Structure 1
Amino acid sequence: MTDRPVLRLRSAAFTHPGGAGVSGLDLDIRAGEAVALIGPNGAGKSTLLNGLLGLVPRTAGTVEYAGHPHAAVGMIGVLPQSADLDPDFPISLEQVVMQGRYRRLGLFRWPGRADRAAVADALAAVGLTELAKRRFGDLSGGQRQRGLLARALAGEPSLLLLDEPFNGLDQQNRDALIQTLRDLKARGVAVIVSTHDLELARLVCDTVVLVNGEQLAHGPVDDVLTLGNLQECFEGTEIEIDEHTLVVPGHEGH
């Protein structure tokens, strides 16, 4: 690891034109570190992730990407909360993953040996090498989710953003995703994952950020994931903690 953070936020705020947003963000995220982003729906988790992608305006503070004010091409990979591909579209898993190389390819350049190698490495990282030629829509929901993660990895990002990646996954795909994230950390990839899944936070993440319109707490997992902190973050909502997950009645994605 280098001393320079992959991502640094200082008093940062991201605000939608309509006024909703998240503020008071102070974070340093280093290579090989995974951060769990936890808070109620509408708290600003997705706003923060989209702000880092430049999709929501930064309205206060500073953001640095490896010491620079803007992310380099290919620096950030993203696994969205909902699939952005029609499963009926006739495209193979391998072709979906190759989409992750397009920003590096630019216009009018065909994929070369390095691009094909990156796709093969990404498929291996998520354990789907043998399904490379399979039509994407014929895969199970969990396999498609892992395929979209492979697409994000094909761009060889140094920062990976995941928005509720465990929603609807069975145990086999949960386990595969957990192992993939551990492997990525070992390779030096920094990860921010928005989740209600406390098992994921404890098994994979080094630190937790609690947000509800603003940053409420940030620190090591065991220090931050206390019932008191979670009750403050989900103020006004009856919450429970089961074996794996923060259960928030009336909220989706738990």
Structure 2
Amino acid sequence: MSDSPVLRLAGAAFTHPGGSGVSGLELEIAPGEAVALIGPNGAGKSTLLKGVLGLVPRTAGEVALGGVPIGTGRASHSANGMLAFLPQSADLDPDFPISLEQVVMQGRYRGLGLLRWPGRGDRAAVARALETVGLSALAKRPFGELSGGQRQRGLLARALASDPALLLLDEPFNGLDQPNRDALVDTLRELKARGVAVLVSTHDLELARLVCDAVVLVNGTQLAFGPVDEVLTLGNVQECFEGVEVEIDEHTLVVPGHEGH
């Protein structure tokens, strides 16, 4: 395994054509490390993830994947399939007649190329991905018959089927019941043990404590990055979430503003 970080951002900024974005990004994620990306709505969390994917233009700084600097073009961000992404909203119609196994196989298509059918290795990768998320028994089930939490885990399996070195997750715990939440936490721990790096956007501070090694706080710009216990301090949370509802230790509260603001 390379000693290089799987992902390194150095002074990076990603900006939408309309002007909104996130800047001042300085972080590294090592193999087998999970980093929580935390901030209020509109803080730039999704922009950061899409910027790493090449879907939002980089306007400053550097990005390196696996120790290799990447350019600003979308194609250069594909990094030969080392990245996988689970977005906030599903891109599949649950009424479309397709099985869970077929959905997960979609994660192999980028590596297949034109005119090649999935082979034994592809089927094995799909089986591993389903086992990882705990859905092997439902492989042949129509995707639309799964619960919302099971569909979310199925889409995660689709991302894992490409055997990524870095997994990007955008609010994956939104709307999950406790059993599916627990299953997803277990999956993230297993991925870390395999050496997969994870960057997960979330509002859930408890999740960061449960499964993540480090936290990056953003609100338009990076406010802090480091080990969970050092970053999730009252002062840092107040600065990041000023005047915004946030859940801390299962209690929802509004973080007060600083005096004089």
Residues 244, 189 of structure 1: alpha-carbon distance in 2 compared, 3 angstrom cutoff: farther
2:145 is aligned with what amino acid? D
1:187 aligns with 2:194: yes
Q: What's the offset of the Cα at 1:198?
A: 1.5
- What letter is aligned with 1:79? L
Q: Deviations over 1:90-122 (max 9, x none)?
A: 000000000000111111110001000000000
What is the 5 A alignment of 1:10-159?
10-68=10-68, 69=70, 70-71=76-77, 72-159=79-166
Count of paired positions: 248
1:202-221 matches, within 5 Å, as 202-221=209-228
> 2:141 is aligned with what amino acid?
R
Give the counterpart letter for 2:54 in structure 1.
Answer: G
Distance 2:244 2:105 in 1: 44
8 Å contact kept, 1:98–1:115: yes
Structure 1 residue 246, shift from structure 2 partner: 6.1
**Amino acid paired to 1:170:** D
**Post-superposition CA distance 1:202-225 (Å, at most 9, x none):** 011000000001000001101111
| Cα deviations by residue, 1:191-245 (Å, 9 ceiling, x for unpaired) | 000001112100110000000010000011011111211110112x144544347
Question: For 1:150, what is the secondary structure of its paired residue?
Answer: helix
CA distance in 2, matches of 1:247, 1:193: 22
C-alpha separation in 1, matches of 2:123 and 2:219: 42
Q: Is the 8 A contact 1:43 1:211 kept in 2?
A: yes
Q: Secondary structure at the match of 1:61?
A: strand
Q: Flag the 1:89–1:65 CA change in 2: closer, same or farther, 3 A.
A: same
The residue type paired with residue 146 of structure 2 is L
Partner Cα distance (1:9, 1:135) in 2: 40
Give the Cα–Cα distance (whole angstroms) in 1 for the partners of residues 158 and 188 of structure 2. Answer: 14
Q: Which amino acid aligns with 1:125?
A: T
Contact 2:203 2:247 in 1 (8 A): no
TM-score by length of 2: 0.92
CA contact (8 A) 2:206 2:248 kept: no
TM-score, structure 1 as length reference: 0.94
Preserved CA contact (<8 Å) 1:44 1:211: yes
Distance 1:5 1:167, change over 3 A: same
The aligned counterpart of 2:259 is none
**Kept after mapping to 2: 8 A contact 1:25/1:215:** yes
Q: Is the 8 A contact 1:197 1:246 kept in 2?
A: no
* Letter in structure 2 aligned against 1:19: G
Shift in alpha-carbon separation, 1:238–1:65, aligned structure 2, 3 A = closer
Q: Percent identity?
A: 77
Change (3 A) 1:245 1:105: farther
Distance 1:247 1:56, change over 3 A: farther
Distance 1:247 1:166 in 2: 19
* Aligned-CA RMSD value: 1.4
Mapped partners of 1:246, 1:180: distance in 2: 26
